[in-house]
Amino acid sequence: EHKDEYCRTILKEMAKANLSKDVKNKFKINEKGLLVDIRGSIVTPVRLVPQILKENHDHILAGHLGVGKTLARLQRQYTWPCMRTAVIEYVKSCLICNKRKAVGGSKAPLHPLPLVEGVWERIAMDIVGQIQESAKGYRYILVISDYAIRFVFTVPMRN
């Protein structure tokens, strides 16, 4: 934080005996010694922004969400100047998102599914992975969701 100009400016203001209301009401040092805003979001040094964007958008468990959801996820933990602009630029430049994005045309209409009456009558399954190998050699996760009880089961898989 001390190496980053934005963080350093805030910390200098906080060190002054007569804190300006702008800084006093917006920032504090939390119990872990981190500079946070009034919501508890970590004031992030600019040099860490690319890494945080990658972890919260590109990571296999992040889901390559759009601008709105990626921004909402980040704002729960972090803050930095021009955050919205950084997220917009990052998501728009994501090659995987651009490949998946539908190009023109109209989408097929949605049709309602018939109601289910019992457990295991209708399920959805997907495989997440390849992820970092666990100590026991698991690299994939089988995800099973039951439509009736809306419960998700996960099963680790080696291959």
Q: What is the pLDDT of residues 69-116, one digit of tens each?
A: 999 999 999 999 999 999 999 999 999 888 887 666 667 888 888 888
The answer to whether residue 108 is domain-embedded is: no
Q: Are residues 56 and 130 in the same domain?
A: no
Q: Pick the closest to residue 80 from 53, 36, 54, 44 (CA basis).
A: 44
Contacts of 99 (CB under 8 A, 6+ apart): none
| Nearest-angstrom CA–CA distance, 87 and 65 | 11
Q: Are residues 81 and 132 in the same domain?
A: no
Q: Which domain holds residue 141?
A: 123-157
The answer to whether residue 93 is domain-embedded is: yes
Q: Are residues 81 and 16 in the same domain?
A: yes
Predicted confidence (pLDDT) at residue 18 exceeds the cutoff of 80:
no
Q: Pick the closest to residue 26 from 38, 13, 18 (CA basis).
A: 38
Q: What is the pLDDT of residues 27-68, one digit of tens each?
A: 888 888 888 888 899 999 999 999 999 999 998 888 899 999
The type of residue at 158 is: R
| Nearest-angstrom CA–CA distance, 48 and 112 | 44
Number of domains in the chain: 2
Threshold 0.85, pTM exceeds: no
What's the pLDDT score for residue 103? 66
What's the pLDDT score for residue 130? 87
Predicted confidence (pLDDT) at residue 129 exceeds the cutoff of 90:
no
Residue corresponding to tokens 């050699």 = 137
Q: CATH number of the domain that 70 lies in?
A: 1.10.340.70
Q: How far is CA 11 from CA 28, 67, 83, 108, 142, in A?
A: 9, 30, 20, 54, 47
The answer to whether residue 114 is domain-embedded is: no
Q: Are residues 84 and 30 in the same domain?
A: yes
The answer to whether residue 105 is domain-embedded is: no
Q: Are residues 21 and 96 in the same domain?
A: yes
CB–CB of 86/49 below 8 Å?
yes
